């Protein structure tokens, strides 16, 4: 095997490998594997370094500055972080974020996993259902916000009208601080469920069918085969969905909130990201916003680490 | 067992372990459930479409069916503003981003999942950590980086920074972890190099997941707003969402036009989804392995 | 500017550290930039291309509303007039309204690529001034112009220097919906003049028609504060007193908070804006009976629902109170960090700060020709009236009844704004106690004022 491999050595970009000096070809299998990995990682590595990591580092650096919003920067050390510790708005926005994440992420996980499993069954008209479930995600968040603002309207909204038919009183879904966050959560789940359903479907499709056949012959019911086969083998996907939806819940919902509630009523939907956006782009406190953002990244790192631990790295094999 | 039955829902063999009359009842129940959730999911979108057919003063009347149907909103959107230009810009940028991103991300994910090299886990952690960015916070530094590269207000500004995203790398890595090692071993025994393994084994196996990702990437960039808004200022670089934003003014908003524009903008996405959905749900195991 | 435990205010216009960020990013990006010469397109920064100055505004030249197109043309003509007679050229640039004050402008300014000339709302004045971005326009004003503007300049002046020139004055009033009033059995004779009457009327509308009785703005933000201040002033309340001390925890502020709270708790005022804040639709679809809006809505009705019957009356007053309303309106500003700050400031002075007929007529045309506003200049107000700009019933009411006694929107910095906004939101929508919230806001403002250095807030 070794001799054949050496003979046919091909690094990524066959041409590049061909043009490489003779010495390169004599690299051992290990060396070639490393070289290949480096080349495979190069384009994304460069791009991420330049357009994501560098701006992240710059923003971290800026968190030690007082930024007027008009291009003047003044070093204030950990001043922004001290301010953060004593900022009741920020901590209340972290509270709203925590509540949002704790309620939204598990709901979204269960709903989209159930939809994925449901859509895996061979029912007539399956592609129609799949399209219907993914359709909400094709809209932009601004339009989604607008749409639901109309549907949840106090006076004319279809939700209150349907509630009226059922004998329930009209409620101010977006105007009552006790309800607004739940309304936002419902809209988020509706918007993302088709998206994560597709990801779960892709994961489900990876599970060899023979396993189910074997389980059936052993007399296992649907729940048993879900628990014994689907759930364990779906772990890499579940891990991915859990991490990505948690991160998205923390960093990505603020544009929806902008349209739906503007952070109101009474800061009821002012999640941390909304507050950070406000500091940066409404109050021009860019350095402070950068400090808050850096802290949020830290929180997410901790959360990811927890999820990583809990799922044993989300690896399919034990490597 | 072909992938067609999976996508098309034909009555052939399937994974559900149920058989007999109980199975039929269960299937009927599941079908009803699927219909109910689909209707729930699609109802607001239907409402969007019918509202786009209402005149301005009826847009917020809360009725599903319009009293008077008007095409005026669509006429306005399609003829009075440069909507075709906006759509083209969105399409052009989203398409290029999607193709390049899929290519680069699958390469990186292959290395991270299947190749052995020192620092692999460290590199993965660094890449993963870029997933944790807080987008508004890096907006200003990114703007400055792009400006220093002289790319502001060009297609390059719309396209290049949008390609790089840990989401795709992460998802693909998770999938590549599950590919049985024997496949590669066999190829290596045949004398294939890594590039060939990637091209002729990994890529074909990734077709379903790449199809899903291409829909996701295209969609995300089709609906992009925040970055195109700050990165471009020329009229001929206006993308759809930035264009639609001009229907909202300081002194009131033309919701009717926004809704009509949203309906028009969703049509290409729907077509894309329908085109890719069969491949998206194909099984890797059945299409790639025997 | 909003230092916490750190007293230094950045020197106005000090360029020392401005390029720090750009430099760092630049060094890191340089390698990659060199590797991708093909991608470097045309640079877009306004300041970078030297000669031409950029004027950012939010009047869409391609809007569906012909009024807005006319307003956009007003800018074009103004700029053409300048370009025909001056060496330094100016270019208009339209930014959609929703994004104007948001990420687009902030990012551009933060990166030193902001506009040379731009429009500023009063609420943002202090932040921009303290950031050192506003150029002094005083040297470019003709003699007598400051007097001609009178009190409309107060909130744009610091230490006797003018940093922004208002193009319009926009007073708030109560708009009422005639068809809904008729349905509720109300007529012109029922126009409320006191707060109690206002609530009564709103209650009648709500109970008899199901429409929102009375709409106060509900979304938190600068605009909500703007619409609320006048209710506080009417009862003698202040945020900051003449000596610069906090005065928020006062009867005037508490009763204004209570008014909004009572209206919401009694179901007279809605918790969210009818028709998602599309006032024209809310009125034509009988969704609202009264709505506190600004003079600009006159123009909106003309364009969007010319046949709809509505009325306007001045804000009712509390017992023992004195009538006032908040006056909004945007102004021209020049950036100190643009390509040519002098020329930019000169442009603002040339456009709106001359005593020539041409300059006065510009304001007349803006306020009574292409828009419906009160003119900020006495001369232009008179001239506009002579030419029939205030002959229509609505404009006449605004000029003669509503505008006199009005007071300019204050220029509180973000922390003060936020403290007040929180008090309004918590009392109005979360049912929190008025006394406690007023006290809490007062303490927050007090703590802030102790370390505040910057433009005076009075």
Confirm or reject contact between B4 and chain A (CB < 8 A).
Answer: no
Same domain as B241, residue B130: yes
Same domain as B117, residue B55: no
Residues A132, A138, A139: CA angle, nearest 5 degrees: 115
Find all residues with CB under 8 Å of B170, minimum gap 6, and list them: A240, A243, A244, B109, B127, B128, B131
Same domain as B116, residue B210: yes
Could you give the C-alpha distances from A63 to A56, A272, A285, C11, in angstroms and in order? Answer: 11, 16, 10, 20
Confirm or reject contact between C179 and chain A (CB < 8 A).
Answer: no
Q: How far is C220 from chain A (nearest CA, A)?
A: 6
Helices then strands, each counted (H, E), chain B: 16, 2
Is residue A12 very low, low, confident or very high in pLDDT (cuts 50, 70, 90)?
very low
Confirm or reject contact between A132 and chain B (CB < 8 A).
Answer: yes
Q: Between residues B279 and C301, which one has the greater pLDDT?
A: C301
- B245 contacts C43? CB cut-off 8 A: no
Q: What pLDDT is attached to residue C50?
A: 52
In percent, the amount of chain C with pLDDT more than 70 equals 89
Which candidate, C305, C325, C228, C226, places its Cα nearest to that of C269? C228
Q: What pLDDT is attached to residue A158?
A: 86
Averaged pLDDT, A203-207: 84
DSSP assignment of C357-406:
HHHHHHHHIIIIIIS--B-SSHHHHHHHHHTTTT-SHHHHHIIIIISTT-
Q: Are strands C290-294 and C165-166 parallel, antiparallel or unpaired?
A: unpaired
Q: At what angle do helices B166-176 and A235-251 cross, to 10 degrees?
A: 170
In percent, the amount of chain B with pLDDT more than 70 equals 88
Question: What is the rounded distance in angstroms from the CA atom of residue C336 to the CA atom of residue C344?
Answer: 9
Question: What is the rounded distance in angstroms from the CA atom of residue C61 to the CA atom of residue A108?
Answer: 43
- C96 contacts B242? CB cut-off 8 A: yes
Same domain as B170, residue B56: no
Is pLDDT above 50 for A316? no
**Chain A CB contacts of B175 below 8 Å:** 202-203, 206, 236
Q: Between residues A160 and B95, which one has the greater pLDDT?
A: B95
Find all residues with CB under 8 Å of B209, minimum gap 6, and list them: A202, B171, B172, B175, B284
Q: What pLDDT is attached to residue C4?
A: 35
Residue A143, burial from CB neighbour count under 10 angstroms (0-12, 13-18, 19+): buried
**CATH number of the domain enclosing B177:** 1.10.3720.10
Mean pLDDT over each residue of chain A, to the nearest integer: 85
Domain boundary among B58, B76, B94: B76
Which candidate, C94, C165, A141, C109, places its Cα nearest to that of B249? C94
Confirm or reject contact between B228 and chain A (CB < 8 A).
Answer: no
pLDDT tens column, B64-83 = 888 889 999 999 888 888 89
DSSP code of C112?
T
**Chain A CB contacts of C127 below 8 Å:** 69, 283-284
Total domains in chain B come to 2
Same domain as B89, residue B150: yes
Question: What is the rounded distance in angstroms from the CA atom of residue B33 to the CA atom of residue B40?
Answer: 11
Query: Which residues numbered 214-273 in C keep a CB inside 8 Å of some CB on A?
Result: 218-221, 270-272
- A4 contacts B38? CB cut-off 8 A: no
Q: For chain B, list the strands marked E by DSSP.
A: 248-249, 252-253
Which candidate, A137, A235, A122, places its Cα nearest to that of B222? A137
Q: Which two tokens stand for residue B59?
A: 């847009």
- Residue C181 parent element (H or E): helix C178-183
Category of C158 on φ-ψ map: left (φ > 0), alpha (ψ -120 to 50) or beta: beta
Integer-rounded Cα Rg, in Å, for chain C is 23
Q: How far is B49 from chain C (nearest CA, A)?
A: 18
Q: What pLDDT is attached to residue B250?
A: 62
Same domain as B144, residue B221: yes
Backbone angles phi, psi at C119, to 5 degrees: -100, 140
8 Å CB contact between C128 and C134: yes
- Which of B62, B136, B262 is facing A157, going by the closest CB pair? B62
Same domain as B135, residue B182: yes
Same domain as B181, residue B40: no
- Spell out the SS3 assignment of C39-72: HCCCCCCCCCCCCCEEEEECCCCCCCCHHHHHHH
Q: How far is C131 from chain A (nearest CA, A)?
A: 5
Q: How far is C109 from chain A (nearest CA, A)?
A: 5
- A61 contacts C219? CB cut-off 8 A: no
Which candidate, C375, C356, C357, C377, places its Cα nearest to that of C366? C375
Q: What pLDDT is attached to residue B282?
A: 63
- Tell me whether the omega of the peptide bond preceding residue A265 falls within 30 degrees of 0, making it cis: yes
Picking from C31, C39, C270 by the largest number of B CB atoms within 10 A of its own CB, the best residue to mutate is C39
Which candidate, C339, C335, C337, places its Cα nearest to that of C348? C335
Query: Which residues numbered 11-40 in B keep a CB inside 8 Å of some CB on A?
Result: 11-12, 14-18, 27, 30-31, 33-35, 37-39
**Chain B CB contacts of C287 below 8 Å:** 60
The domain ranges of chain A are: 1-33, 87-314
Averaged pLDDT, A187-211: 90
Q: How far is A85 from chain C (nearest CA, A)?
A: 12
Q: How far is A163 from chain C (nearest CA, A)?
A: 17
* Chain C adjacent subunits, 3+ CB pairs under 8 A: A, B
Q: How far is A176 from chain C (nearest CA, A)?
A: 7
Instruction: Please tell me which residue of chain A has the smallest CA distance to B207.
Output: A202
Please name the residue that has the structure tokens 């006495």.
C378
Which candidate, C293, C312, C303, C291, places its Cα nearest to that of C398? C312
Confirm or reject contact between A4 and chain B (CB < 8 A).
Answer: yes
* CATH pick for A87-314 out of 1.10.3720.10, 3.40.50.300, 3.90.550.10, 3.30.2310.20: 1.10.3720.10
Confirm or reject contact between B57 and chain C (CB < 8 A).
Answer: yes
Integer-rounded Cα Rg, in Å, for chain A is 25
Question: What is the rounded distance in angstroms from the CA atom of residue B48 to the CA atom of residue B64?
Answer: 9
DSSP code of C333?
E
Question: What is the rounded distance in angstroms from the CA atom of residue A84 to the CA atom of residue C154?
Answer: 35
Same domain as B99, residue B66: no
Which candidate, C218, C418, C257, places its Cα nearest to that of A176? C218
B228: containing domain: 82-289
Q: What pLDDT is attached to residue C97?
A: 72
Picking from C64, C101, C211 by the largest number of B CB atoms within 10 A of its own CB, the best residue to mutate is C64
8 Å CB contact between C174 and C380: no
pLDDT tens column, B200-224 = 889 988 888 899 899 999 999 999 9
Is residue A294 very low, low, confident or very high in pLDDT (cuts 50, 70, 90)?
very high
Same domain as B124, residue B47: no
- B60 contacts C276? CB cut-off 8 A: yes
Query: Which residues numbered 190-229 in A keep a CB inside 8 Å of some CB on B?
Result: 190, 193-195, 198-199, 201-203, 205-209, 212-213, 215-216, 220-222, 225
Is residue C181 very low, low, confident or very high in pLDDT (cuts 50, 70, 90)?
very high
**Chain B CB contacts of A273 below 8 Å:** 134, 136
* Helices of type H across A121-271: 126-134, 141-151, 158-165, 180-204, 209-217, 222-225, 231-233, 235-251, 254-260
Confirm or reject contact between A129 and chain B (CB < 8 A).
Answer: yes
Is residue C99 very low, low, confident or very high in pLDDT (cuts 50, 70, 90)?
low
Same domain as B223, residue B109: yes
Picking from A73, A173, A254, A266 by the largest number of C CB atoms within 10 A of its own CB, the best residue to mutate is A266
pLDDT tens column, B102-121 = 999 999 999 999 998 998 98
Interface B-C: count of C-beta contacts within 8 A: 148
Averaged pLDDT, C173-186: 96
Q: What pLDDT is attached to residue A155?
A: 85
ipTM field = 0.85
- b/e for C256-293, b at 16 or more Cβ within 10 A? bbbbbbbbbeeebbbbbbbbbbbbbbbbbbbbbbbbbb
Averaged pLDDT, C405-433: 94
Mean pLDDT over each residue of chain B, to the nearest integer: 84
- Residue B8 parent element (H or E): helix B3-8
Q: Between residues C45 and A132, which one has the greater pLDDT?
A: A132
Which candidate, A186, A239, A201, places its Cα nearest to that of A114? A201
Question: What is the rounded distance in angstroms from the CA atom of residue B97 to the CA atom of residue B162?
Answer: 7
Could you give the C-alpha distances from B244 to A123, B57, B225, in angstroms and in order? Answer: 39, 19, 10
Averaged pLDDT, A58-74: 85
Residue C51, burial from CB neighbour count under 10 angstroms (0-12, 13-18, 19+): exposed
Is pLDDT above 90 for C62? no
Which candidate, A262, A144, A141, places its Cα nearest to that of B47? A144
Q: What pLDDT is attached to residue A314?
A: 53
Category of C331 on φ-ψ map: left (φ > 0), alpha (ψ -120 to 50) or beta: beta
Instruction: Please tell me which residue of chain C has the smallest CA distance to B155.
Output: C41
- C113 contacts B147? CB cut-off 8 A: yes
Question: What is the rounded distance in angstroms from the CA atom of residue A249 to the CA atom of residue A189?
Answer: 10
Which candidate, B153, B161, A50, A142, places its Cα nearest to that of C108? B153
- Residue A103 parent element (H or E): helix A88-120
- Which of B177, B195, B216 is facing A13, going by the closest CB pair? B195
pLDDT tens column, B208-264 = 889 989 999 999 999 998 899 999 988 899 999 888 888 877 666 778 888 999 999
Domain boundary among B76, B109, B137: B76
8 Å CB contact between C237 and C251: yes
Domain boundary among B28, B48, B76: B76
Q: Between residues C439 and B12, which one has the greater pLDDT?
A: C439
Question: What is the rounded distance in angstroms from the CA atom of residue B181 to the CA atom of residue C100?
Answer: 55
Q: Between residues C102 and C393, which one has the greater pLDDT?
A: C393
Q: What pLDDT is attached to residue B143?
A: 92
Same domain as B261, residue B202: yes
- Residue C91 parent element (H or E): strand C90-94
Question: What is the rounded distance in angstroms from the CA atom of residue C227 to the CA atom of residue C282?
Answer: 19
Query: Which residues numbered 69-98 in B keep a CB inside 8 Å of some CB on C?
Result: 76, 80-82
């Amino acid at each position: 095997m070794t001799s054949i491999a050496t003979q046919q050595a091909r690094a990524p970009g066959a041409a590049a490998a061909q043009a490489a000096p003779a010495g390169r070809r004599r690299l051992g299998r290990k060396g070639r594997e490393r070289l290949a990995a480096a080349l495979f990682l190069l384009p994304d590595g460069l791009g991420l370094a330049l357009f994501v990591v560098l701006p992240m580092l710059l923003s971290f650096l800026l968190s030690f500055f007082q930024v007027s919003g008009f291009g003047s920067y003044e070093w204030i050390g950990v001043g922004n972080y001290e301010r953060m510790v004593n900022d009741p708005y920020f901590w209340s926005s972290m509270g709203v974020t925590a509540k949002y994440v704790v309620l939204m992420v598990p709901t979204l996980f269960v709903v989209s996993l159930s939809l994925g499993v449901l859509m895996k069954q061979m029912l007539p008209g399956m592609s129609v259902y799949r399209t219907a479930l993914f359709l909400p995600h094709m809209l932009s968040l601004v339009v989604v916000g607008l749409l639901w603002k109309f549907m949840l309207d106090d006076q004319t909204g279809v939700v209150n009208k349907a509630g009226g038919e059922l004998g329930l009183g009209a409620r101010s879904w977006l105007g009552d601080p006790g309800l607004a966050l739940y309304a936002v959560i419902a809209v988020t789940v509706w918007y993302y469920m088709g998206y994560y359903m597709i990801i779960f479907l892709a994961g489900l499709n990876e599970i060899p069918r023979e396993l189910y056949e074997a389980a059936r012959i052993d007399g296992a019911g649907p729940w048993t085969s879900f628990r014994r086969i689907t759930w364990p083998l779906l772990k890499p996907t579940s891990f991915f969905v859990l991490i990505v939806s948690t991160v998205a819940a923390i960093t990505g919902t603020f544009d929806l909130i902008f349209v739906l509630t503007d952070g109101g009523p009474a800061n009821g939907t002012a999640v941390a990201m909304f507050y950070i956006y406000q500091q940066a782009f409404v109050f021009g406190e860019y350095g402070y916003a950068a400090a808050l953002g850096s802290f949020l990244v830290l929180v997410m790192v901790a959360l990811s680490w927890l999820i990583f631990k809990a799922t044993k790295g989300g690896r399919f094999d034990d490597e | 067992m072909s992938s067609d039955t999976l996508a098309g829902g034909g009555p052939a063999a399937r994974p559900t372990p149920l058989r007999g009359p109980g199975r039929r009842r269960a299937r009927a129940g599941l079908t009803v459930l699927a219909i109910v959730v689909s209707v729930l999911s699609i109802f607001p979108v239907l409402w969007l479409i019918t509202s786009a057919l209402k005149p301005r003063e009826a847009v917020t009347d809360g009725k599903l069916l319009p009293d008077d149907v008007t095409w005026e909103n669509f006429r306005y959107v399609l003829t009075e503003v440069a909507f075709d230009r906006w759509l083209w810009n969105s399409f052009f940028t989203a398409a290029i981003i999607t193709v390049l991103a899929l290519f680069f991300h699958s390469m990186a994910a292959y290395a991270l999942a299947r190749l052995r090299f020192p620092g692999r886990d460290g590199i993965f952690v660094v890449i993963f950590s870029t997933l944790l960015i807080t987008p508004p916070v890096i907006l200003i530094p990114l703007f400055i980086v792009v400006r220093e590269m002289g790319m502001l207000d060009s297609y390059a500004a719309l396209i290049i920074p949008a390609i790089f995203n840990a989401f795709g790398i992460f998802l693909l890595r998770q999938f590549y972890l599950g590919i049985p090692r024997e496949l590669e071993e066999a190829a290596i025994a045949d004398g294939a190099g890594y590039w060939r393994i990637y091209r002729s084994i990994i890529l074909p196996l990734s077709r379903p997941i790449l199809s899903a990702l291409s829909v996701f990437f295209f969609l995300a960039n089709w609906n992009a707003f925040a970055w195109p808004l700050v990165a471009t200022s020329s009229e001929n670089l206006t993308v759809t969402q930035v264009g639609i934003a001009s229907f909202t003014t300081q002194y009131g908003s033309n919701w009717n036009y926004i809704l009509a524009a949203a309906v028009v903008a969703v049509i290409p996405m729907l077509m894309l989804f329908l085109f890719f959905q069969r491949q998206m749900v194909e099984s890797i195991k059945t299409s790639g392995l025997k | 500017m909003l230092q916490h435990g750190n007293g230094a205010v950045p020197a106005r216009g000090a360029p020392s550290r401005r390029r720090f960020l750009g430099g760092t990013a630049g060094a890191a990006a340089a390698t990659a930039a060199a590797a991708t010469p093909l991608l470097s397109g045309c640079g877009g920064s306004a300041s970078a291309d030297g000669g031409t100055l950029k004027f950012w505004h939010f009047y869409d030249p391609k809007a569906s509303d012909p009024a807005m197109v006319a307003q956009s043309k007003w800018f074009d003509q103004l700029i053409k007039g300048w370009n025909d007679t001056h060496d330094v050229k100016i270019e208009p640039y339209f930014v959609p309204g929703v994004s104007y004050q948001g990420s687009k402008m902030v990012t551009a300014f933060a990166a030193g690529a902001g506009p040379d000339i731009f429009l500023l709302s009063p609420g943002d004045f202090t932040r921009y001034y303290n950031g050192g971005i506003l150029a002094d326009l005083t040297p470019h004003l003709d003699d007598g112009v400051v007097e001609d503007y009178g009190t409309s300049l107060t909130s744009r002046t610091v230490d006797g220097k003018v940093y922004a020139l208002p193009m319009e004055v926009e007073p708030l009033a109560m708009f009422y919906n005639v068809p809904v009033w008729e349905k509720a059995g109300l007529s012109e004779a029922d126009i409320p003049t006191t707060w109690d009457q206002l609530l009564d009327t709103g209650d009648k509308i709500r109970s008899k028609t199901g429409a929102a009785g009375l709409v106060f703005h509900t979304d938190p933000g600068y605009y909500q504060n703007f619409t609320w201040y006048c209710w506080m002033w009417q009862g003698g309340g202040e945020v900051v007193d003449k000596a610069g001390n906090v005065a928020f925890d006062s009867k005037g502020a508490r009763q204004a908070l209570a008014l909004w709270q009572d209206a919401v708790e009694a179901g007279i005022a809605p918790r969210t804006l009818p028709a998602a804040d599309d006032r024209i639709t809310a009125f034509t679809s009988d969704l609202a009976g009264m709505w506190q809006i600004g003079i600009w809505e006159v123009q909106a009705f003309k364009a969007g629902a010319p046949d709809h019957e509505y009325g306007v009356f001045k804000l009712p007053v509390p017992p023992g109170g004195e009538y006032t309303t908040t006056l909004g309106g945007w102004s021209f500003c020049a950036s100190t960090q643009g390509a040519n700050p002098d020329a930019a400031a000169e442009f603002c002075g040339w456009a709106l700060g001359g005593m020539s007929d041409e300059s006065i007529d510009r304001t007349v045309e803006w306020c009574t020709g292409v828009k419906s506003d009160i003119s900020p200049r006495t001369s232009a107000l008179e001239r506009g009236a002579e030419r029939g700009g205030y002959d229509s019933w609505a404009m006449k009411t605004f000029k003669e009844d509503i505008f006199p006694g009005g007071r300019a929107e204050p220029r509180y910095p973000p922390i003060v704004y936020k403290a007040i906004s929180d008090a309004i939101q918590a009392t109005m929508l979360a049912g929190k106690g008025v006394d406690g919230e007023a006290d809490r806001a007062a303490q927050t403002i007090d703590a802030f004022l102790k370390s505040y250095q910057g433009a005076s807030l009075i």
